[in-house]
Amino acid sequence: MRWTPGNTSPNVEDRRGGSALKLGVGGSVVMLVLSLLFGRNLMPDDVAVGEQKPHQSSPEEDKMVQFVSFVLDDSQNVWRDKVRGYRDAKLVLFTDSTQSGCGVGESAMGPFYCPLDEKVYVDLGFYNELARRFGAPGDFAQAYVIAHEIGHHVQHLMGLDTRMRQRARARPSEANELSIAHELQADCLAGVWGHSTQNRGLLEAGDVEEGLGAASAVGDDRIQKKATGRVNPETWTHGSAAQRAEWFRRGLNGGRVEDCDTSSGSAY
């Protein structure tokens, strides 16, 4: 991907070196998911943020921070022109764990967006996981991750996340299906930004394949297969590898928000 290293975005909040007291990955995941579902922080009051320690950043990591800043700013510039009244999301860089408006976030959860504080949370170590564990290397694969989370911010500003939560509370049996539709829409919105980068000549040979590879790599079926050796579609929350790649491709090819309507499957 063509980009020029530069300064850190003013919308990046660097918490690397700090940590939050942990509930354990399982407990944190459950509390975070419930907080997102009910639209309020359900984390116990006694979970506190740990002491911030100086973070020793390598030149490679410094360049990654600059790249993340570029993707964040570029994607939000695109959405500022597409969404009336758009307000910027913040991106929080952390290591190990941190407190969010939705509860404690831990590295093992992967990147996530919290609508309660309108912030994206990323541990840069996830990119090593994406390349080595999930087999999705490349800078546009990394860009896809940020663009997907900004897609959730766009959904939030458009009120789509609120409608999804209301529907899930009214019909709990549809909660997983609604979650999948919501996540696939964020993949498509990431593709809408990708379409813009294509038009502006920012993509290089192989970048589209990197993005599609990243979308496929984090499909529920791929993750379940790696973790347990089995696949259980009834427990999916994000969609299969094929679904995620397909919806990312739709946004990439069409470049229009209206191409990202996943509601025909059920949702909101």
The answer to whether residue 5 sits within a structural domain is: no
Cα–Cα distances (Å) from 8 to 48, 63, 96, 151, 215, in that order, read 27, 10, 21, 21, 26
> What is the separation, in whole angstroms, between the first and last Cα of the chain?
34
Number of domains forming the structure of the chain = 1
The answer to whether residue 2 sits within a structural domain is: no
Task: Tell me what pLDDT residue 11 has.
Answer: 98
Q: By residue range, what is the domain housing residue 248?
A: 12-265
φ and ψ at residue 102, rounded to 5 degrees: -105, 5
Task: Tell me what pLDDT residue 34 has.
Answer: 52
Q: Output the DSSP codes for 188-216.
A: HHHHHHHHHHHHTT---TTHHHHHHHHHH
Residue 238's Cβ-side half-sphere holds a number of Cα atoms within 13 Å equal to: 23
The answer to whether residue 239 sits within a structural domain is: yes
Task: Tell me what pLDDT residue 181 has.
Answer: 95
Write the DSSP symbol of residue 90.
Answer: E
The answer to whether residue 17 sits within a structural domain is: yes
The answer to whether residue 4 sits within a structural domain is: no
The answer to whether residue 220 sits within a structural domain is: yes
**pLDDT single digits (tens) 53-80:** 667 788 999 999 999 999 999 999 999 9
What residue ranges of the chain have pLDDT lower than 50?
A: 25, 27-28, 30, 47, 265-268
Task: Tell me what pLDDT residue 18 has.
Answer: 76
**Amino acid found at 132:** R
Cα–Cα distances (Å) from 250 to 126, 196, 209, 256, in that order, read 25, 13, 14, 9
The answer to whether residue 3 sits within a structural domain is: no
The answer to whether residue 7 sits within a structural domain is: no
Write the DSSP symbol of residue 251.
Answer: H
User: C-alpha angle 197/199/200, rounded to 5°?
Assistant: 65
